[in-house]
Structure 1
Amino acid sequence: MTMPERKTLFGFGPGTAVGEVSEILRCAARADRDGLDLFTISDHPYYGGRLDAYATLGFVLGRTSALTGVANVTNLPSRPAPMLARTVTSLSALSGGRVVLGLGAGGYWDEIVRLGVPRLGPAAAVRAMEEAVILVRALSGGGGPVTFDGEFHQVSGIDPAPVPAPPIWLGSVGPKSLAVTGRLADGWIPGRAADWLSSRYRESRPAIDDAAAAAGRDPAEIATIYNLPGRITPSPLPATRDRAGRWVGGSAGQWAEELTAAVLEHGASGFVYFVADDTPSEVALGRWAQEVVPAVREAVAGA
């Protein structure tokens, strides 16, 4: 076993219901206090009962001191790329760099178009995402005015923010979006419940690596961060995966053993935990942050 070169990241993803504001803020405070790295929020602006992702991230970052905020993932079709660039660079400036841009091409198009956004086909949506990555970076880090005349995004003589672009993690699935991830992204979010043993990972990661190598990049530079739902149980489960091979959870010890292997044997870069049963969020978060995460960190550091 070899020691991973990058820090392994651990995060938590709460619900986003407007009626759960108090619980979300308590979880953010606890995650910050207990030393987690990431706090992620889903972005579904077409649902009126859910909080806006970036309003929530701004509020959470203002009330915490160490957590990095991530929209998991940003619904790009509803957020014009130039304004998204202004949003993430402003959050970075306000929080001392504690933000990552999680970005997706758009998945729920029947819902997205209800916002008045023109429908894009899959290939066009991926091209729009690629342009957005390029433009967000161009509008970050200072320098002279930016003019960009793309297929989907155009700006003329816009000054970039004097703030570095945040890391960009793409929630990519199809071959074209995986290739964009390899060419341009800092990280890859495979999708909810797709882990290091899943067919999605085995079939998709080589496409990212090939695209990175073709672009002259080291594929190892592209982190893989898993959204990982599951139960953390008081005692061990007889099976931690279901018949289809999907992770379902187990005791803190079973989680720690599985995640340590994911880091050391499969190169996992990070994990965002989602509660997958009726355990209260604060209880589940406490087990994750105080039992599972320290055990994985200790095992990885000692490998």
Structure 2
Amino acid sequence: MMHFGIGVSTAVSAAPDTLRLAVQADRAGLDLITVSDHPYYADRLDAYAEIGVLLGRTERISGLVSVTNLPTRHPSMLARTITSLSALTGGRIVLGMGVGGLWDDIARLGFTKLTPGQAVRAFEEGIKLVKLLGGGGAPVTFDGEFYRVTDLEPAAVEVPPVWTGSVGPKSLAVTGRVADGWMPGHAADWLSERYRTSRPVIDKAAVDAGRDPADIATVYNFPGRITAEPLAKTRADDGRWIGGSPAQWVEELIGAVLEHGAAGFVLFGPGGSTPDETAAARWAEEIVPAVREATAK
């Protein structure tokens, strides 16, 4: 299944525009709305409060916190949040999970600052525990290095797919062992060195765990300009995508799917900004339908 989405702002000041953009994306037939998770910034909306309201204002589109700041959200409570959103929306949710990176900011919130090794071990534990706490079944007792629950009944609702934002080799291996999707960090795409060296780590870890690497989707955060006229160059000298006309976007994304196995794309504006309404319309009405049609099996 292909996933086409749009990244929206978490700024408190942009809340009215964000609501309008989410409704526009839903009506235009996009698959995903994504928001980031930085709860230590006072000028940002809480990610799960925001995604809940956006899903409540929409009818078909799914929500994704890209990615959940796991050190600030205990996995047992995260499981309750995510299964509740799934129940309330008819399954319109994907669970994004991240190791956490801005540790000084995380510590300012009152959470324990972990070493990189501890953070990765906690990340794997967190994904495993969340997955145990959905789909019904017997009560769960989990006694990990970082997380513990005792005789806790799982929600009857299934836990949605888990996508990670893994960057380092150890967290990439966690993705291969226990996750369902990967969103390459730093807006890296299928032609980047980061992708070329990272995806094999995921694939090897998946095989070593007895999994099929093809079951782990790669979905890209993909920033760029959508212009009325073609650009002479669609990529910068360093290889990063700049953008271009809808036809140039379509050609690029078709190649990503058919030649590199891309499973989806989330549109951002230049530099990771929120796309404006014009760009969002061109994305949803011109680019996405053409890519879907060309890559349909």
**Interval of TM-score (by shorter of Structure 1 and Structure 2):** over 0.9
Counterpart in the other structure of 2:218? 224
| Residue identity opposite 2:254 in structure 1 | T
Gaps of 5+ in 2: none
Q: Give the counterpart of 1:127 among 102, 121, 126.
A: 121
Counterpart in the other structure of 1:257? 251
SS class of match (2:81): helix
Q: Could you tell me whether the CA contact under 8 Å between 1:139 and 1:160 is conserved in 2?
A: yes
Deviations 1:53-94 (A, max 9, x none): 100111111111111100000000111111001000000000
Trace 1:1-303 onto structure 2 (pairs within 5 A): 7-276=1-270, 281-301=276-296
Q: Could you tell me whether the CA contact under 8 Å between 1:193 and 1:246 is conserved in 2?
A: no
How far, CA to CA, are the matches of 1:38 and 1:177 in structure 2? 24
How far, CA to CA, are the matches of 1:81 and 1:94 in structure 2? 20
Tell me the CA shift for residue 192 of structure 1.
3.2
Gaps of 5+ in 1: 1-6
SS class of match (1:213): helix
How far, CA to CA, are the matches of 2:72 and 2:173 in structure 1? 23
Q: Could you tell me whether the CA contact under 8 Å between 1:192 and 1:226 is conserved in 2?
A: no
Q: Could you tell me whether the CA contact under 8 Å between 2:187 and 2:222 is conserved in 1?
A: yes
Q: Could you tell me whether the CA contact under 8 Å between 2:8 and 2:274 is conserved in 1?
A: no
Deviations 1:11-67 (A, max 9, x none): 000111101111101111011000000000000000000111100111111111111
> Cα RMSD between the aligned structures?
1.2
Q: Could you tell me whether the CA contact under 8 Å between 2:268 and 2:275 is conserved in 1?
A: no
SS class of match (2:151): strand
| Residue identity opposite 1:30 in structure 2 | Q
Deviations 1:79-133 (A, max 9, x none): 1111001000000000101111000000111211110111111111011010011
| Residue identity opposite 2:251 in structure 1 | E
Tell me the CA shift for residue 280 of structure 1.
6.3
How far, CA to CA, are the matches of 2:2 and 2:138 in structure 1? 36
Tell me the CA shift for residue 8 of structure 1.
1.2
Q: Could you tell me whether the CA contact under 8 Å between 1:185 and 1:222 is conserved in 2?
A: yes
Give TM-score scaled by structure 2 length: 0.98
| Residue identity opposite 2:63 in structure 1 | G
SS class of match (2:268): strand
| Residue identity opposite 1:53 in structure 2 | A
Q: 1:279 to 1:163 in 2, by over 3 A?
A: closer
- State, as a whole percentage, how many aligned pairs show the same letter: 64
SS class of match (1:88): helix
Counterpart in the other structure of 1:3? none
Corresponding pairs, count: 296
SS class of match (1:192): helix
Give TM-score scaled by structure 1 length: 0.96
| Residue identity opposite 1:181 in structure 2 | T
SS class of match (1:10): strand
